[in-house]
Amino acid sequence: MLIARLALAATFAVAALGKLSDLRASRRAVERFGVPAPLSSTVGLLLPVAELAVAATLLPVATARWGALAAAALLAIFCVAIVRVLVRGEAPDCNCFGSLGSRPVGRGTLLRNGLLIALAGFVATVGWNDGGASAFAWMGDHGAVAAIGGATAVVTALHMAFSWQLYKQNGRLLDRVADLETARGSGDEPGGGGLAVGAPAPDFALPDLDGRTVALDDLLAAGRGALLVLTDPACTHCNPLLPALGRAQAALDSTPVAVISTGAVRDNRANAEEHGIAQMLLQEQFEVAESYGVHGSPSAVVVDPAGRIAAERAGGARAVAALVEAVASPPPDPGRPWVRAGGYAEAGER
């Protein structure tokens, strides 16, 4: 019984601490599961607080059964939310463990939650009259060494998680500073710095503003290549490009112009509605940009119909604007792709 309670408590504590370390991602996650945008910040904070409370109540014998019931109720709510988005054909990141690990929801997520519900049910029913040994009493019986060892393990885990996040953020910052230092006097970043022309374009599967998952293969399905434009709501040089991106999407029915952004759903939705951007995908923490070797916003990458990099990436507002304008110009022969393997074709060559 004690082992079952400790396993549940550890799971909920790790999930809560992971979410608290990245509240912005927690807010985005609850939005994708249907929480209205005005409530997303509150719910994104209350959720890890509730998980911490569940973990705490599972430790003393007197409150363990109530903690198990609360754990089962939370897990059941999670399952209902997951089934709801899966039925709609969506697969947003669960953000189950926050910055410590997140992946799109699926049957595996439901199976894991089902096992945890069974564990919580065991604690609540079998342990209703006898919840087993107290976690605190057990630690006391085994001396101060056990308490110190447990506390040290928790602190070490938290420190490693924090250090890993700090390491990734510092790496991104140094890469972006390096790009800026080599920028030309025009204010644009140099071309280069991304993947080599002809290299396979890294695959991705990102949610759009409605939570539907869009993969690179979906963008290339029309057989005319794709233009990936990476932006950020906080980027002052990105926002002036949004009207042109909206016009380019409207002008090109079968050649996708995908805007890949970061930040909260509500901020990006406001930009998309204002500028008529039909398709905007959201990355969590620059993971797509990093896979394409892009360290700066705005940037653009052209992928040919075969799924290969068609040209050096465009970096900076002017270069991206020029590329978007060239792409939006229809080719003389509408039946031919505007991007060919290894480079531009038709309008792009101009």
Let me know if residue 195 belongs to a domain.
no
- The CA distance from 283 to 222, in Å, is 23
As a whole number, mean pLDDT of residues 162-181 equals: 56
Stretch 237-246: mean pLDDT, rounded? 84
**CA 217 – CA 236 distance, rounded (Å):** 31
160 located within any domain = no
User: Same domain for 215 and 88?
Assistant: no
Q: Which residues pair with 340 in a beta bridge?
A: 343
Q: Is the pLDDT of residue 184 over 70?
A: no
The amino acid present at 244, given as its one-letter code, is A
Is 343 found in the same domain as 210?
yes
Task: Please tell me whether residues 212 and 343 are part of one structural domain.
Answer: yes
256 prior amide bond cis, ω within 30: no
CA neighbours closer than 13 Å in the CB half-sphere of residue 235: 21
CATH number of the domain at 343, please. Answer: 3.40.30.10
| Position 138, amino acid | W
22 and 135 inside one domain? yes
Q: 3-state DSSP call for residue 274?
A: helix
Residue 165 within any structural domain of the chain: no
Could you tell me the pLDDT band of residue 223, with boundaries at 50, 70 and 90? confident
Average pLDDT over residues 259-275: 85
Q: For the chain, what is the domain count?
A: 2
Cα dihedral sign for 329, 331, 334, 338? negative
Domain boundary among 141, 164, 196: 141
Indicate whether 99 and 217 sit together in one domain.
Answer: no
* More confident call, 53 vs 160: 53
158 located within any domain: no
pLDDT at 34 > cutoff 70: yes
Q: What is the pLDDT of residues 53-101, one digit of tens each?
A: 999 999 888 888 899 999 999 999 999 988 888 887 776 777 787 766 6
The verdict on 129 and 219 lying in the same domain is no
| Residue pointed to by tokens 């039946």 | 335
- One domain for residues 83 and 9: yes
CA distances from 6 to 66, 135, 138, 307, 349 (A): 14, 8, 12, 48, 64
Q: Is the pLDDT of residue 275 over 60?
A: yes
The Cα-based distances of 16 to 11, 34, 42, 84, 267 in angstroms read 9, 20, 15, 23, 25
| Pairing mode, strands 343-344 and 339-340 | antiparallel
**Cα-based distances in Å from 147 to 131, 137, 140:** 21, 11, 8
Instruction: Give CA–CA dist 9/120, Å, rounded.
Output: 10
Percent of the chain with pLDDT over 90: 14
Beta strands in the chain (DSSP E): 205-207, 213-215, 226-230, 257-261, 280-282, 299-303, 314-315, 339-340, 343-344
Domain assignment present for residue 147? The answer is: no
For residue 228, give both structure tokens.
Answer: 């990936």
CA Rg value for the chain? 24
Establish if 172 belongs to a structural domain: no
111 and 214, same domain (yes or no): no
Same domain, 209 and 106: no
Same domain, 118 and 248: no
Query: With bands split at pLDDT 50, 70 and 90, how would you rate the model's confidence at 187?
Result: very low
Residues 211 and 104 in one domain: no
Among candidate residues 87, 113, 141, the one where a domain is terminated? 141
pLDDT band at 340 (very low <50, low <70, confident <90, very high): very low
The last residue of a domain, from among 93, 114, 141:
141
Asked if residue 125 belongs to a domain, the reply is yes
Output the CA–CA distances (angstroms, integers) from residue 282 to 319, 335, 348, 349, in the order listed.
22, 31, 27, 30
Q: What is the pLDDT of residues 294-305, one digit of tens each?
A: 877 788 888 988
pTM of the complete model beyond 0.75: no
Position 149 in a domain: no
Instruction: For residue 93, give the amino acid letter.
Output: D
My answer on whether 253 and 335 are in the same domain is: yes
With cut-offs at 50, 70 and 90, classify the pLDDT of residue 36: confident
Segment of 25-29, 35-39, 277-281 carrying the highest mean pLDDT: 277-281
* Residues β-bridged to residue 302: 227
Q: Across the strands, what pairs with 226?
A: 303
Kindly tell me if the per-residue pLDDT of 22 is higher than 90: no
Q: By residue range, what is the domain housing residue 27?
A: 2-141
